[in-house]
Amino acid sequence: MTEKVTLDQTDYWKLDSKCMEYVFDIKVSFPNTEPPEEGFPTIYMLDGNSHFQYGRDVVRLQSRNAPKTFVAPAIVVGIGHHGTEKEVSKQRFHDFTPFAEQYSYPDRLKAVGGELGPHGGADKLLDFMEQELMPEIARRYVVDPDSRTLFGHSLGGLFVLYTLLTRSHLFTNYLACSPSIWWNDHEILEYEKNFRENTDMDTPKNLFIAVGEEEGFMVNDAKDLVSNMESKKSDELQIAFYIAPEENHGSVVPTIMSRAIRFSNGIFPNSEVRTRQTQR
User: What's the structural domain count of the chain?
Assistant: 1
Q: Which residue numbers are catalytic?
A: 154, 215, 249
Tell me, what DSSP letter sits at residue 35?
P
* Contact assessment for residue 30 and residue 82, using Cβ atoms and an 8 Å cutoff: no
pLDDT at 250: 95
State yes or no: pLDDT of 10 exceeds 70. Answer: yes
- In 3D space, the residue among 65, 62, 78, 79 whose CA is nearest the CA of residue 29 turns out to be 78
How large is the average pLDDT for residues 18-22? 96
In the chain, the amino acid numbered 172 is T
Nearest alpha-carbon partner for 77 in 58, 96, 52, 59:
52
Q: What is the mean pLDDT of the chain?
A: 90
Asked, for residue 3, whether it belongs to a domain, the answer is no
Residue 276 has pLDDT above 80, yes or no: no
**Backbone torsion region of residue 258, taken as left when φ is above 0, otherwise alpha when ψ lies between -120 and 50, otherwise beta:** alpha
* 25, 81 contact by CB (below 8 A): yes
Q: Which of 95-99, 185-189, 220-224, 236-240 has the lowest mean pLDDT?
A: 236-240
Residue 233: give its domain's CATH number.
3.40.50.1820
Dihedral, 153, 156, 160, 166 alpha carbons, nearest 10? 160
Q: Which parts of the chain fold into alpha helices (H)?
A: 48-62, 66-69, 85-95, 107-110, 122-128, 134-140, 155-166, 183-186, 188-198, 217-230, 252-264
Report helix angle 252-264 to 48-62, nearest 10. 50
CA nearest 226: which of 252, 202, 208?
A: 208
- Tell me what pLDDT residue 274 has: 40
Strands of 10-17's sheet in order across = 10-17, 22-29, 75-80, 40-46, 143-153, 173-177, 205-212, 237-244, 274-276
pLDDT of residue 268: 59
On whether residue 142 sits in a domain, the answer given is yes
- CA distance linking residue 61 with residue 84, whole number of Å: 31
Reported as a pLDDT band with limits 50, 70 and 90, residue 109 is confident
Read off the pLDDT of each residue in 152-157 and give the average, rounded to a whole number: 98
Q: Is 71 in contact with 261 (CB distance < 8 Å)? A: yes
Structure-model confidence comparison of residues 251 and 265, the more confident one: 251
* Residue 2 is assigned to a structural domain of this protein: no
- Does the pTM exceed 0.95? no
pLDDT confidence of residue 201: 77
Mean pLDDT of the region 88-94 = 94
Q: Is residue 138 part of a domain?
A: yes
Residue 222 belongs to some domain of the structure:
yes
Rounded mean pLDDT of 99-105? 91
pLDDT tens digits, one per residue of 124-145: 999 999 999 999 999 999 999 9
Give 164-213 pLDDT, tens digit per residue: 999 999 999 999 999 999 999 999 999 999 998 887 777 889 999 999 99
Residue 5 lies in a domain: no
* Residue 42 placed within a domain: yes
Does residue 22 have a pLDDT over 90? yes
Instruction: Please give the residue range of the domain that contains residue 38.
Output: 10-276
| Positive or negative torsion for Cα 201, 77, 160, 245 | positive
Indicate whether 104 belongs to any domain: yes
